[in-house]
Structures are given as C-alpha cells and as structure tokens.
Amino acid sequence: MRVLIVRIGAMGDVLHAMPAVAALREKHPGWFIGWAIEPRWSGLLQIAGDPEDLTQGVGLTSGTILRRGLVDRWYSVEAGAWRKRPLARGTITDIAALRRLLRRERFDLCVDMQGALKSAVVGRMAGAKTFVGMEEPRERLARRFYGKRVAVTAEHVVEQGCELLGTAVGETLAPARVILPMDARAEQWADEVVGRERFCIVSPGGGWGAKVWPAERLGQVAAELGRDGMQTVVNASVHGSKDAEEVVAASEGHARVVACSVGQLIALTRRAVVVIAGDTGPLHLAAALERPVVGIYGPTDPKRNGPYMADYKTRSRVLRDTESVTSHKRVQETEAGMLRISVEEVVAAAREMLG
C-alpha cells in the first residue's frame, strides 16, 4: 500500500496530524508513506533511512517499537512562495514538477488532513486511486476534489485525524506516540546555547492576533519566574522579532531571545522545564515532546485545539476565561476573554508545572 498524506502546514497543524500517521506506521511498518508539506516544516518529520530513524518510540496502541521513520519521503509544497507569485514562470514550473513527481509515485491512497483548497489541489494532482477528505473541511470548496468524504465526530483535532485516516484505510486508529527527529548538530547547538541552565521557554506568537497574549505580560511572567531563579528563553523564528524583544524588555533582565530553526527548537524544547505559549506551534511541539506546558487560550477551544499529550502523565495546564468566545476569524486584536487572564494566573500555573 502506498499512502500520501497532505498536511502542508503550519507547525501545530502538522504536529496534530502526526499521531494518526504514527498509528498507521505502527500497524503497517511495510507500507510506503509519503507526506506533502512546506519545506520549513519538514524538520518535524522523521524520515525512513535517516540515522535517527531507529530512535526508540513505543506507540500507545500496540507497544511496538518503531523500526522505520514516520514517513518514507516528503514532497516539497512551496505554498507560501507560490501564493506570492501565482503566475510566475518559476511557480508554474515548480507546480508542474511536483505533479509529475507525485504521479510517478503511483499512490493507492491520498488523504487530505488539512481540508484547505490548496491541500485539496495538491492531493488531486497526485492522481491516487482513492482521494479522501473530511465531509466538512476547513474550506468548503475543498470537498469538491475528494473522491470519498468522511464525517468526523471526534472532538479534538488529533482524534479527528485518526478518525479520518482510519476510515480511509478501513481500520480503527488510536493516537500513537510521536517520535520527533534528533539532529546531532541541533543537539550540540542547544547544549552550547543553554548548557546545564534550568530554563523555561515562552513563545509570543500565535498565528493571528486574536490568539496572542500581550508580549509585555509574558515578559512580566519571565520577571516573576526570574525572581524564583528561573531564566526564560524567548522563542523566535528570526532575529529582530518585535514580539520577542518586547518580552525581553519587560522581563527585568530574566529573558533572552533565541532565534532557531525547527530542528533547533526541537532540541531546545527537549531541555526546557516548562513551555508557556498560546495556541501555537511551539506549545504543541512541547506537548509532543512530553514537556510540561502552560497554554494561554482565547478564541480557540482547548477541547478541540488544546495540547495533546501522548504520555498522559505529562503535566499541562490550560488557562481560558469562561467568557471567551470560540472563533477562527483572523482578527488582529487580542480576544477580550484572553486579556482577562492575568500575569499572576500564568505565573501560578507555571509554578504548579514546576512542582
């Protein structure tokens, strides 16, 4: 069986799809599994044939040790660049090359785990014998591309992914533990950056403004934890991040910015004693790595999008105001309920996670 997963991005969404794929790999180690993804997120995928793909990882369902990477191959979907230059010759050439590559792979099954128009187009290009997506995808137009549609009933997106992929292959899948890549250079880099320091990570991003707790408040949290003897690393994807610098400015000298790649963030998160963030990729990365987390939520519902722990002994605390209204509208102003979450509440939750 040759299966193509389409989950182009972003970090948190890719991580939410991975437990279902890990469960499929666990049940069918001999199947060929491909993944269509934006290159920037490919560092999340453990690829068969990599030196690290023999990392021990016990799945939750059968206890089988993974002997292969999560996927056999990933396929580059430069969706962000293509969107900026949709009619450019380079864009058209790249899309045509991707189509040829996917067609040559002769997939038996393609599953769109994103539910967007762009992911549905990529899935259709693959020319798989069967193309499956959700009955109610994120973008309504996507459903027109599917040969088979699945009505999911699970509440959390991780469990929805298992329901979708399981139905597509005709089996029941339960979320399996995800093993993330371990890059030797990234691990050495993390050792040099933090050494034996005991630190927490805060991530001021959030995808869109409504999900973003004020950076100044995160800095005040860092200041309070600093008085406890805990230093803070502020995650940033690039140097000069305005939000990250605002956290540092309010931290009274207890926080510093560390710009890192996906592989470096994985290595850094492995060493953190707690991660504090909104509903964003670094929070879900920490959950996948079984690190204690404090989630600050507003317009997104933790029952659907909360940190999902493969190891249920891993500690997590999610803060959400009772009057927050669930909405996925991409507005820039922080959701009103989220603003009612105080610095003191977040500090208390972090101290609870620190024991």
pLDDT tens for each residue of the chain, 355 residues long:
999 999 999 999 999 999 999 999 999 999 999 999 999 999 999 998 765 444 333 233 333 334 579 999 999 999 999 999 988 999 999 999 999 999 999 999 999 999 999 999 999 999 999 999 999 999 999 999 999 999 999 999 999 999 999 999 999 999 999 999 999 999 999 999 999 899 999 999 888 899 999 999 999 999 999 999 999 999 998 777 899 999 999 999 999 999 999 999 999 999 999 999 999 999 999 999 999 999 999 999 999 999 997 655 568 999 999 999 999 999 999 999 999 999 999 999 999 999 8
Q: pLDDT value at position 244?
A: 95
Using CA atoms, how far apart are residues 26 and 21, in angstroms rounded to an integer?
A: 8
Q: CA-CA-CA-CA torsion for 68, 167, 286, 351, nearest 10 degrees?
A: -140
Over the range 127-164, which residues count as b (16 or more CB within 10 Å of their CB) and which as e?
bbeebbbbeebeeeebbebbeebbebeeebbbbbbbbb
CA distance 161 to 15: 11
Q: Choose among 317, 255, 244: nearest CA to 287.
A: 317
Asked if the peptide bond before residue 142 counts as cis, ω within 30 degrees of 0, the response is no
Q: Read off the tokens for 207.
A: 């995808």
**What gap in Å lies between CA 197 and CA 185, rounded to an integer?**
19
Rounded CA separation 56/38 (Å)? 26
CATH topology match: 2-169 vs 184-353: yes
Strands (E) located in the chain: 2-6, 32-37, 73-76, 109-112, 130-134, 148-150, 199-203, 231-236, 255-259, 274-278, 293-297, 316-320
- In this predicted structure, what is the pLDDT of residue 64? 37
The two tokens of residue 79 are 């969706």
Fold designation for 184-353: Rossmann fold (3.40.50)
Query: Tell me, which fold does domain 2-169 have in CATH?
Result: Rossmann fold (3.40.50)
Sequence spans of domains, the chain: 2-169, 184-353
